[in-house]
Structure 1
Amino acid sequence: MTAIALRPPEVVMRLQRLGAAHPTRLSFLRQLIRRATREQWHARKDRFELDDNGFGRAVYAVETPARTYSLVAFSTPLDDEKRSDRVIAQAWDTSYVLYDGLPDAAEIARLEANAPLQEAGRFTGRELVLARANKSVRLFEEVASALAHGRQPDEEQLLGVGYLMRTTAVYGNGKFGIADRDEIASRPELSGSFQAEMLTVWLIRSFILDLVDHIAYRRNPTGAARLAPDLRRALGVGNATGLGMAPFLVRHPLLTHSWFLARETALARVRVEPYAGEAERKAFLQALTDLRRRVARWYSDDSRQAAATRLLADDLATLAGNLDRLLAKPRPWDALYRLAEDRFSLEGQEACVSLILEPHGDLVDDLGDTMKADETPGHGIDGSVTCGSLRQALLDSYSWAESVDFAEPAANARFWYVSAEKLEPRLGERFEEDGAELEQPLATARDALNLAAALAQEPASSRVAEFLLRRPEWRHAARRAQIVARFPYSEIRDNLIGAELRPVDILRAKLAFFGARSFDPRSDRWLRIALFSGEPLIEDVAAAASTGEAA
């Protein structure tokens, strides 16, 4: 069987395509759901101590084959003027900790004194993830009111939003004193990318749904309805994500490469399949139907996203209209992909990639285990190479950047820096704001070309080590050049400091790997999304395993 080449990074790693990314069955929340279902994790409410207004604390315990983890949730009053999605907020409707084990009363009291403070609190290595979330106030109240009156909320309105609360931060990896990544990386259930964070959000979803049911019941103990099971499953957890996350794909090149390589390898495996079986056809049609339903409800005030969503709806209609014909062809999945490549928008093309992978878990799910990387040892600078060879590697890897004139103000318009207030990445306007001297090394294309120019002044046979001893300011660019030469999906192949940059494109690419849907840009620098919408509830995974369902 003749193999199909992977899509090249020159196609995959462009900002416009990254900004059209869709979640796939390799997304991290889908990987977590499959493991939990396969291993029949058991989730239960260990505590649920809330007053009539839904304020108090709750503990949700999850038993895996090896360990127990607990979501410790706190719901507190919040004045409307203090409610904000911004990272600089200091109070939230709810706050959470993913705890290693089952906390006793003393531990819960300690967390209750600290978790609502978030960054200002004090934490230990027993805490794995720290999170907070705010209500979508009007919708949350309308759902609680409808249930209290014994009726279900308006389905169209509810699913048009897709969540009752949205998180404004989900912190892991040792921030603010919680456990370092190294403490849990060897645990199979948490070893994959962002598995602890996804588990936290999955549990938060159950707490939110139980919270609205609880408030409705307390308002009308004899007549309140519970949120219908199909609506519970349809709802996810919202998230507001901004610039703090944007540089992640740049700062973690090996991890980025592993994510994209896995997805592209999966696509190539499926495209080479010689025929479409009945089970695969049925699964694809179901996935296509589900996506068309989601797209019909996908609303955004952002004019660019709204236009892209309209084109996507047209693309999916075209796909549906040609499905029987294409699936009858040799290599039917390749035929579907080539139709998308030839005729669809970028949104449509990337949605088609997601759909093609959906029926082929047996063929691609093993690639989830490859979507991680150790970025510390073994990837230093090889100083023994010559200046000439490093320069050639730069010109080869960054040939796409040679058309960018960084002497032009528009090409050099922005700079990345770390805010003093929150110690998180921010984007400055180089010719309008002070602070360019604090620029972070995220202008990868500019720095690569400048390093190549500096190396051109050196004897071609001289060693890079000797050059860097004299010019240490180029160490970051030299290291990156050697990484990109070996790991081609590690670099975004666009100018990251230009006036046309939309950081939300980078954000969407990362969030799609998490499993996010309903992308709603609120500006070019932040967006809202939904996680776990339409996915099984964590308390249902054991039942799903016994009936043969899989994510």
Structure 2
Amino acid sequence: MTTPAAINASLRGDNALPLRPTSQVMQLERLGAMHQSRLSFMRILIRRIMRERWQIAPAHFELDDQGYGTVVYEVRTPHDLFSFVLFSDYLSPEERNDRVIATQWDLTMALVAGSVEPEYLEQLRQNVPKQEAGRVDARVLVLSRANRSARNFDTVVEQLSAGRQPDVAQIARVGYLYRTTAVYGSGKLGMADWEKVSSHFPDFARPFSAEMFVCWMLRNFSLLQAEHIARHRAPETFRSMEPEIKRYFGIGNSTGLGMAPYLINHPQLINRWVEMRELALARVRTLGQLDDRRRLDLRELIDRCTSHMQDTVTEDPWQSDNNRQVLKDLEALHNRVTAGLESWDQLLRWSEGHCSLQGQELLVSILLELYPELVEDLEDYMSAEEYLDLDPLMPVRELQQVIEQRYDWTLQIDFGADGARETFWYRSEEKMEPRLGSASCDEGREKQMALGVAYAVRKCYDQLCEYVQQHPDHTTARFMVARPKLRGIVRRIQSMNRCVYGDIQANLLDRDVLPMHLLRAKLAFFGVSKFDPRSRLWVRNTMFQGAPLMEEIGRTFNDDWFMPLAPQR
């Protein structure tokens, strides 16, 4: 199998364009400006399902007239058999809560290896609805829960029962019937860990593939349940939802700080995600043929993105300003393309001087959309083994040079400035979820999580410089004996020096750090859209809007649901 390095080398001819520099790509604000693309995990998953024609059918369907009960779908893939188990329970309005402190939900779900026999189904019934309070075994790959949309679900049921179609304008405002508040995997609560999933279940061996599949199945069930309730409420007048309207429904998601530490604690994996996206862009800039058809496709995609952004609703002033700026960027891009275009490189360089970061990164996603033949094979390289090892034989002078070259950005931060070390990250005892504290008003800094990579590098560098002056010929091993507390950060520095992109370039301890950028970056890799921040610490968004439906498996599939538009009525 061709390695990413070999793929990259294929671009390194005399006329090949280099990858965008680390100092540009790994800025926190730019990472937080990314959008979904052909390499987002939802897109990768749907391509696999549709092209391999997975067989998904209910093996157990027990819902009452109000949509409460138990449903089990059997999922036959090219390699295995899985079961998607779902429990639907009544939830009073007073108990509905999207925060992590909630203890009850409208729906709870699990993705399980193999078929589910009655005894095991009962075991799941006793534990899955409890979520964190329950316990599951290693047959479970993913655990999740979701709540109905207060603004959409009942209204859609009423419309269908009366023989009307859902209001498209309302779907544009709230593009889902259910919103998931957590999707757990990778060994939590007794589930199968990532090593087992990636080595034993090839259908879900790509990052977050099983988690994304559960969200897609939830989206399909939400549509089925709404029709089920409406049909039983008024069988004489009920009318099924039209397919194009069904596709416009996604699944909602609420994401908080729990995602943020992942990007810091898995630097080699994040490096790989960024590397593949940048390699795809380099391929387009170098190999992408620019002809009349591509120009037309580009204008159509710019117009589509414009309509999609106009349909995005948020009450957050910061996000509203961003969306308005992106619309200005898209208008400017449209005018620039209409005026004439010589190369993709020319357009990208023009955008860097005339568009916001979000406009620039949206253009990257658009360009990747134009060339599936140059992009999609890179989906096979989105995984990376996270292994930070120490090189004890590296001379301390070389270690010093690595920091000065690869971590020069940390040396430019004044950690003695007011507010530069005010924020600390900790994990709550009650829910074991990440939280932000302020050193000026909160206690507990001594229990902070080790997410201040920039400050740790700077402390290491300062002590290393002193050591080099005294022992210029020593190795890293001798330095570690003298400074054993620095072992972790030295291991990270040496290991990330082998990566193309490395660490996110930001001081996460700064008073004004915006965790939303971290959330946005990871969600963009997932493939979500329509970001709606509810504070600087959590965001609502929409998943799988425009994606194919479960009943469309086996039909012609063109993977053309990037930035979906409202169906015309």
The two structures share one fold, judged by TM-score above 0.5? yes
Task: Give the equivalent residue in structure 2 for 1:233.
Answer: 247
Task: Give the equivalent residue in structure 2 for 1:103.
Answer: 116
Matching of residues 290-329 of structure 1 within 5 Å: 290-327=304-341, 329=342
Matching of residues 40-55 of structure 1 within 5 Å: 40-55=53-68
Deviations 1:162-200 (A, max 9, x none): 111111100010110111112221333211111111111
Which amino acid is 1:48 matched to?
F
- The answer to which of 191-200 and 60-69 deviates more is 60-69
Partners of 1:44 and 1:539 within 8 A in 2 = no
Task: Give the equivalent residue in structure 2 for 1:33.
Answer: 46
How far apart are the structure 2 equivalents of 1:61 and 1:505?
38
Task: Give the equivalent residue in structure 2 for 1:530.
Answer: 542
Which amino acid is 2:96 matched to?
R
Deviations 1:499-544 (A, max 9, x none): 1111011010011001011111111111011111111123313213
Match of 2:157 among 144, 147, 157: 144
Deviations 1:21-53 (A, max 9, x none): 101100011111111122111222223211121
Q: Name the TM-score, length of structure 2 as normaliser.
A: 0.92
Task: Give the equivalent residue in structure 1 for 2:262.
Answer: 248
Task: Give the equivalent residue in structure 2 for 1:212.
Answer: 226
Matching of residues 70-85 of structure 1 within 5 Å: 70-85=83-98
Matching of residues 126-165 of structure 1 within 5 Å: 126-165=139-178
Task: Give the number of aligned pairs.
Answer: 544
Q: Name the TM-score, length of structure 1 as normaliser.
A: 0.95
Matching of residues 151-550 of structure 1 within 5 Å: 151-186=164-199, 187-273=201-287, 275-277=289-291, 280-281=294-295, 283-327=297-341, 329=342, 331=343, 333-376=344-387, 379-458=388-467, 459-545=471-557
How far apart are the structure 2 equivalents of 1:183 and 1:399?
38
Which amino acid is 2:345 matched to?
D
Which amino acid is 1:372 matched to?
S
Deviation at 1:281, TM superposition (A): 4.2
Task: Give the equivalent residue in structure 1 for 2:99.
Answer: 86
Q: Percent sequence identity over matched residues?
A: 41
Partners of 2:264 and 2:504 within 8 A in 1 = yes
- The answer to which of 79-88 and 264-273 deviates more is 79-88
Which amino acid is 1:388 matched to?
R
Find the residue that maps to 1:58 and give its secondary structure. strand
* 1:118 maps onto 2:134 in alignment: no
How far apart are the structure 2 equivalents of 1:409 and 1:420?
30
- The answer to which of 191-200 and 460-469 deviates more is 460-469
Deviation at 1:488, TM superposition (A): 4.0
Unaligned runs of 5+ in 2: 1-13, 562-569
> Structure 1 residues 69, 284: closer, same or farther in 2, change over 3 A?
farther
Deviation at 1:115, TM superposition (A): 0.7
Partners of 1:20 and 1:505 within 8 A in 2 = yes
Task: Quote the RMSD (CA, aligned, Å).
Answer: 1.7
How far apart are the structure 2 equivalents of 1:550 and 1:303?
31
Find the residue that maps to 2:501 and give its secondary structure. helix
Partners of 2:58 and 2:73 within 8 A in 1 = yes
Find the residue that maps to 1:335 and give its secondary structure. helix
Partners of 2:396 and 2:472 within 8 A in 1 = yes
Find the residue that maps to 1:457 and give its secondary structure. helix
How far apart are the structure 2 equivalents of 1:497 and 1:166?
31
Deviation at 1:241, TM superposition (A): 0.6
- The answer to which of 278-287 and 129-138 deviates more is 278-287
Deviations 1:357-393 (A, max 9, x none): 00211111111111111113xx311111122221221
How far apart are the structure 2 equivalents of 1:442 and 1:487?
19
> Structure 1 residues 81, 549: closer, same or farther in 2, change over 3 A?
closer
Partners of 2:288 and 2:371 within 8 A in 1 = no
- The answer to which of 341-350 and 313-322 deviates more is 313-322
Find the residue that maps to 1:57 and give its secondary structure. strand
> Structure 1 residues 389, 173: closer, same or farther in 2, change over 3 A?
same
> Structure 1 residues 460, 538: closer, same or farther in 2, change over 3 A?
farther
How far apart are the structure 1 equivalents of 2:506 and 2:159?
49
Deviations 1:314-339 (A, max 9, x none): 21122223334444x2x3x2233223
Deviations 1:413-470 (A, max 9, x none): 1111222112222221112111111122211111101100111121222222222223
- The answer to which of 415-424 and 89-98 deviates more is 415-424
Deviation at 1:269, TM superposition (A): 0.7
Find the residue that maps to 1:166 and give its secondary structure. strand
Which amino acid is 1:233 matched to?
R
Deviation at 1:404, TM superposition (A): 1.8
How far apart are the structure 2 equivalents of 1:59 and 1:274?
45
Deviations 1:73-93 (A, max 9, x none): 111111222211111211111
Partners of 1:544 and 1:550 within 8 A in 2 = no
How far apart are the structure 2 equivalents of 1:46 and 1:291?
40
